[in-house]
Amino acid sequence: MELPYAEPYRIKVVEPLEKSTRARREQWIKQARYNLFNLRSEQVFIDLLTDSGTGAMSHHQWSEIMLGDESYAGSSSYYKLKEVIGQLLGMPYFVPTHQGRAAENVLFSAIISEGDVVPGNAHFDTTKGHIEFRKAQAIDCTIDEASDTTLHHPFKGNIDLKKLERVFKSCPPGKIPLCIITVTCNTSGGQPVSMQNIRQVSALCRQYGIPVFFDAARFAENAYFIKLREDEYADRSIRDIVLEMFSYVDGATMSSKKDAIVNIGGFLACRNKELFDKISMYCILYEGYLTYGGLAGRDLGAMARGLMEGTEFSYLESRIGQVAYLGRQLKKYGIPCQEPTGGHAVFVDAKMCLAHLPKEEFQAQTLAIELYLEGGVRGVEIGALLADRDPQTRQNRYPRLELLRLAIPRRVYTNNHMDYVAACLANIYERRNSISRGYRIVKEAPIMRHFTIELEPVQESSPGSNQT
Ligand SMILES: *Cc1c(COP(=O)(O)O)cnc(C)c1O
């Protein structure tokens, strides 16, 4: 018979998990004001809040922690990382940063000014934040297919070239400092961008003289999808694909907490020496000297090693395979999820699960709370709470999609954990019609409210008491 799949690693260190009772969880979530960010990690059994910085390092990476060279300048750990970034990504210049958003801060300080426009596929929230903070505008040019969860499209992270060219044509020259391709596109559900699209976007940008950068947090997962879904790349190695991907861009910001499988770290890489000189000044100002950039030497060594491990086919097959496995289990129970399953997370369509609840009672947050109560599983709302209020009208913005994101940490949980998560959701889905009320806001911050928001259950006796 055909042999079943098995992970290309074994487990050397384990971390015990505590199970809790539903009664305890009811207490805890109430104390947390129905905001899952407020829970203590011990109150969570399976934590799928994020895949950022939550991965398990290999013993080789832990060795690099011990080998870390903590010299202020010129540390050997820095040169290890420089070598990997040069070889793997073909980028001659880079500065380490303490995480991805710090790389954005350094790059954008050097090249974005007030009134600028930055197109791309859907920008990640911190990227958008750093653009808007500089009074510039982030424009989403993702293909329309990305916003239909039921539609099968192999590359829902692709940029619509017509939309992009429209931006190029409508903006005065010199107002577009860069175009950003986020790989994979987190905002559209961990969906990949095809090599063809990267090539075309790059060519169009060249034609208009606009630099193009990757937001590269999940570049290796993107390369894996290219290998699987783009015919001409089926026989190419992941590292070959990665090198070709980066050959089309002028630089990249990287959150190493994702595909470099470290708990903290990032970098900013580029090809152009002049840009590097400009960046260097801001790196020293905001992060630290050029050979450590806000990190310890040991972090750089672990990152170098993690970049190599993160671009191994067998690792990516196991990692993305596990995410797909959870997606299949949920589908087996009839639970509506975004199709196809993304690289780092499964997105449950909460609007379809809890169609009978009004959007004003926050369907995705309601589902996230139910999942926690059911089995101590923590996911995250990607819906109206995250979408926040319109800055002008102060009205709640209700996005087209209400999603519950289940992000899977790398090399951390087994498929038994995935089965457990799927069973929890199946139980909820079965009794979904008995969930008759959602939540309403008690207290919120003026921006980025989802992190600190306080909620309470809507009472049967207070119909229409929600404020919009
Ligand atoms: C996580 C992430 C960032 C920000 O990186 P941090 O390391 O969290 O600062 C930027 N872009 C994308 C696509 C990300 O996933």
Segment 131-169, tens digit of pLDDT: 988 999 999 999 999 888 888 999 999 999 999 999 999
215 is annotated as an active-site residue: yes
State the pLDDT confidence band at 465, using cuts at 50, 70 and 90: very low
- 267 contacts: CB under 8 Å, gap ≥ 6: 81, 85, 94, 95, 96, 97, 103, 253, 254, 256, 293, 303
Q: According to the model, what pLDDT value does residue 150 have? A: 84
The answer to whether the CB of 257 is under 6 A from ligand 1 is: yes
**Catalytic residue flag (residue 398):** no
What is the rounded distance in angstroms from the CA atom of residue 388 to the CA atom of residue 385?
5
Q: 258 CB less than 6 Å from ligand 1? A: yes
User: Mind listing the pLDDT tens digit for each residue in 442-454?
Assistant: 999 887 899 999 9
The number of the ligand 1 atom at minimal distance from the alpha carbon of 184 is: 13
Ligand 1 atom having least distance to the Cα of 186: 13
**CA dist., res. 417 & res. 413, Å (int):** 6
The mean pLDDT value for 282-287 works out to 97
Distance, CA of 347 to CA of 337 (rounded, Å): 6
Band the pLDDT of 297: cuts 50, 70, 90: very high
Give residue limits of the domains in the chain.
Answer: 22-51+321-457, 59-309
Q: Is the CB of 255 under 6 A from ligand 1?
A: yes
Assign a CATH topology to domain 59-309: Aspartate Aminotransferase; domain 2 (3.40.640)
Instruction: Give residue 461's pLDDT.
Output: 56
- Give the architecture (CATH level 2) of 22-51+321-457: Alpha-Beta Complex (3.90)
| Whether the predicted pLDDT of 423 surpasses 60 | yes
Q: pTM for this one? A: 0.94
Residues 53-102 have pLDDT tens digits of 999 999 999 999 999 999 999 999 999 999 999 999 999 999 999 999 99
Q: Is the confidence at residue 187, as pLDDT, over 80?
A: no
266 lines ligand 1 (CB under 6 A): yes
Q: Which of 22-31, 104-113, 142-151 is predicted least confidently?
A: 142-151
C-alpha count within 13 angstroms, C-beta hemisphere, residue 90 = 12
What length does the chain have? 468
pLDDT at site 130: 92
162 is catalytic: no
- For residue 351, indicate whether it is catalytic: no
